[in-house]
Amino acid sequence: MIWVDTVVQGVLLGGLYALFAAGLSLVFGIMRLVNLAHGDLIVMAAYLILVLVTVLGLPPFLAAAVAAPVMFGIGWVLQKYLLNRTLGSDILPPLLVTFGLSIALQNALLEGFSADSQRLPTGAISTSSLEIGALNIGVLPLLTFASAIAVIIGLNQLFYRTSLGRAFRATSDDPVTASLMGIKPGHVFATATAIAMLVVTLAALYLGMRANFDPNIGPARLIYAFQAVIIGGLGSLWGTLAGGVIIGVSQTIGAAINPEWQILAGHVAFLLVLLVRPRGLFPRAVD
Amino acid sequence: MSILSLKTVSKSFGSLKVTDDVSFEVPEGQALGIIGPNGAGKSTLFNLITGNLTADAGTIRFQDQDVTRVPAMQRCFAGVGRSFQIPQPFDHLTVFENLLVAASHGRALDEHEVEADCARILEQTELLPVANKPAGGLSLLQRKRLEMARALATDPKLLLLDEIAGGLTDAECVALIDTIRSVHARGVTIIWIEHVLHALTSVVERLLVLDFGKIIGIGDPEDIMSRPEVKEIYLGIEV
């Protein structure tokens, strides 16, 4: 039974990794932009929520709801006035700029909040659990996983059922032709990054409620997000969820065998999947 | 009344002049064919009309408005639609979605306002059976039809067709000509670049010949094709 519990905990942990990765997947899927500052933006959103909790005394969920439009605006401006300028046939400029942004964000957060670990106050929810048979499932991990599913469903609906989603996909296919049809690629990209920042805010909320965070943990979150996106197949949202679950389950099984193997087991699983399916589990038909 | 007028339009890439002092007018409702050898500057001329390229000199007027410096998107809103020589559909969207995107964004309308129009265009261009298929999986004829359908979805007053019959079998070409005729019959002005002369001359009322970016002749298709200089330059026949 302990192994079933381990796998269930891994699946739920995968929900958090899927939330880390969904925004990255969204941005990559639409504009082929690899945002190396993604992890740091998650950490920045966590600090923004923390400030709202401590200064205004808001509960974390309400604070996240207030932080979401702020992050939306930051994402829009960031893409419109900085990242759009780096897009083109050369993949190096966006990598260099987002790498620089990552360093700048880490140092700004260190300057503003010091290197001390922080955590969002959660109250009773962090210790609440549901008893299902012989399993005890934490409410917060369950809520995280449910949020990840809701985000993936929501983004899929947005992509395939709305005018904006069709504009996303058309621009992703061919921005030049899309612009001849009256679409403004620069606006579409800015809107995509803004929406990705909404997901980032949700990821930051659960990150801050479930674990300690400090200004330097962004790059590690980026690695988990990358691994989930690549395992799932670049640009596939459901694949991203599957990728997150695979990493989560691998980590909990690794930790059950030996606590020192937790992180390593996730990396090994990532490499094994790439050995068998180099383009990930659910790659897009044409990339 | 002219829907399009070009006056002394020129465009160079470095030292190479690809459009050289080009002037002509297209009356509303007319179908004009453009021919010329490879490298004559035909597609560049289209790019200048659509706004993909900006002219170095001269004036382009569309519906009596100077659009020489107007961006491509604004010209699309004004009523200039085009198809590409190499079909460029949005591969990951279905055929119907391709039209929806073009119609809603190209006319700045909500999708529900253009759905019926898109369905009508699908029927007109014989794409209804593949409406829900991803555009990436279409045959060449279907992709060419989609190019035209998508241009039509923007509700153009002027439709630019760039070698739309190229690479098609005779039977496919005949089917496409019928579709173009039906579009033209609805009053849409057409400018059509084409190497398949029998297809072109069966539709257009006027023919323009380009060579090295210059207009060699413009007028009645039969008259133009009988001119010695056109035979020599375009058909390679020494006279």
pLDDT for A2-34, tens place per residue? 888 899 999 999 999 999 999 999 999 899 899
CB contact under 8 A, B72 and A286: no
Residues B163, B54 share a domain: yes
Residue B66, number of CB atoms within 10 A of its CB: 11
- Say whether B98 sits in a helix, a strand or coil: helix
In this prediction the ipTM stands at: 0.81
- Find the CB nearest A180 among B50, B100, B136: B50
Q: What is the mean pLDDT of residues B99-112?
A: 92
A166 contacts on B by Cβ (under 8 Å): 93, 97, 100-101
Residues B42, B113 share a domain: no
Which chain B residue is nearest to residue A164, measuring alpha carbons?
B101
Residue A281 lies in a domain: no
Which chain B residue is nearest to residue A180, measuring alpha carbons?
B73
pLDDT at res. A76: 98
pLDDT at res. A287: 43
B93 contacts on A by Cβ (under 8 Å): 166, 169-170, 173
**pLDDT over 50 at A101, yes or no:** yes
Number of domains in chain A: 1
pLDDT at res. A233: 87
Q: In CATH, what number is assigned to the domain containing residue A74? A: 1.10.3470
Which chain B residue is nearest to residue A284, measuring alpha carbons?
B92
pLDDT at res. B220: 93
Of the pLDDT bands very low, low, confident and very high (cuts 50, 70, 90), residue A282 is confident
Q: What is the mean pLDDT of residues B13-23?
A: 92
pLDDT at res. B197: 87
> Residue B234's domain spans which residues?
1-77+159-239
Query: How far is Cα A221 from Cα A20, in angstroms, rounded to an integer?
Result: 7
Residues B104, B214 share a domain: no
Residues B170, B71 share a domain: yes
pLDDT at res. B239: 45
**pLDDT over 50 at B51, yes or no:** yes
Residues B236, B163 share a domain: yes
- Angular region, B104: left φ>0, alpha ψ -120 to 50, beta rest: alpha
CB contact under 8 A, A183 and B154: no
Residues B62, B94 share a domain: no
Q: State how far the alpha carbon of A162 is from the alpha carbons of A49, A154, A157, A167, A177, in Å.
A: 30, 11, 7, 9, 20
A181 contacts on B by Cβ (under 8 Å): 76, 101-102, 105-106, 150, 154
Query: How far is Cα A274 from Cα A126, in angstroms, rounded to an integer?
Result: 35
Of the pLDDT bands very low, low, confident and very high (cuts 50, 70, 90), residue B27 is very high
- Find the CB nearest B91 among A163, A167, A286: A286
Per-residue pLDDT reduced to its tens digit, B119-172:
999 998 889 999 999 999 999 889 989 998 998 999 899 999 999 888 888 888
Q: What is the mean pLDDT of residues A51-70?
A: 96
Q: Of B155, B188, B213, which residue sits at a domain end?
A: B155
CB contact under 8 A, A174 and B88: yes
Number of domains in chain B: 2
Per-residue pLDDT reduced to its tens digit, B180-227:
998 899 899 999 999 888 889 999 999 999 999 999 899 999 999 888
Write out the two tokens for A220.
């590690």
**pLDDT over 70 at A285, yes or no:** no
Length of chain A: 287
**pLDDT over 90 at A67, yes or no:** yes
**pLDDT over 80 at B238, yes or no:** no
Label each residue of chain A as H, E or C: CHHHHHHHHHHHHHHHHHHHHHHHHHHHHHHCCCCCCHHHHHHHHHHHHHHHHHHHCCCHHHHHHHHHHHHHHHHHHHHHHCHHHHCCCCCHHHHHHHHHHHHHHHHHHHHHHCCCCECCCCHHHHCCEEEECCEEEEHHHHHHHHHHHHHHHHHHHHHHHCHHHHHHHHHHHCHHHHHHCCCCHHHHHHHHHHHHHHHHHHHHHHHHHHCCECCCCHHHHHHHHHHHHHHHCCCCHHHHHHHHHHHHHHHHHHHHHCHHHHHHHHHHHHHHHHHHCCCCCCCCCCC
Q: What is the mean pLDDT of residues A110-131?
A: 90
pLDDT at res. A257: 93
pLDDT at res. A286: 44
Residues B189, B148 share a domain: no
Residues B117, B168 share a domain: no
pLDDT at res. A116: 95
Name the percent of chain A lying above pLDDT 70: 98
Q: In CATH, what number is assigned to the domain containing residue B226? A: 3.40.50.300
Interface residues on A facing B, Cβ-Cβ cutoff 8 A? 163, 166-167, 169-170, 172-174, 177-184, 284-286
Q: Of B155, B180, B204, which residue sits at a domain end?
A: B155
- Find the CB nearest A181 among B52, B92, B106: B106
Per-residue pLDDT reduced to its tens digit, A212-223:
999 999 999 999
Residue A251 lies in a domain: yes
Residue A53 lies in a domain: yes
Q: Of B131, B155, B179, which residue sits at a domain end?
A: B155
Compute the mean pLDDT over every residue in chain A, rounded to the nearest whole number. 93
Residues B37, B103 share a domain: no
**pLDDT over 80 at A235, yes or no:** no
Name the percent of chain B lying above pLDDT 70: 97
CB contact under 8 A, A166 and B76: no
* Per-position b or e across B94-113, b if 16+ CB within 10 A of its CB: bbbbbbbbbbbbbbeeebee
* Amino acid identity for residue B124 in this structure: Q
CB contact under 8 A, A166 and B100: yes
Query: How far is Cα A188 from Cα A181, in angstroms, rounded to an integer?
Result: 13
Residue A120 lies in a domain: no
CB contact under 8 A, B154 and A182: yes
pLDDT at res. B236: 63
> Residue A52's domain spans which residues?
2-115+137-276
Residues B174, B115 share a domain: no
CB contact under 8 A, B90 and A284: no
Residues B66, B181 share a domain: yes
Q: What is the mean pLDDT of residues A218-238?
A: 91
CB contact under 8 A, A182 and B73: yes
pLDDT at res. A284: 66
Of the pLDDT bands very low, low, confident and very high (cuts 50, 70, 90), residue A186 is very high
B90 contacts on A by Cβ (under 8 Å): 169-170, 173-174, 177-178
- Find the CB nearest A179 among B72, B84, B100: B72
Q: What is the mean pLDDT of residues A249-278?
A: 94
Query: How far is Cα A233 from Cα B46, in angstroms, rounded to an integer?
Result: 39
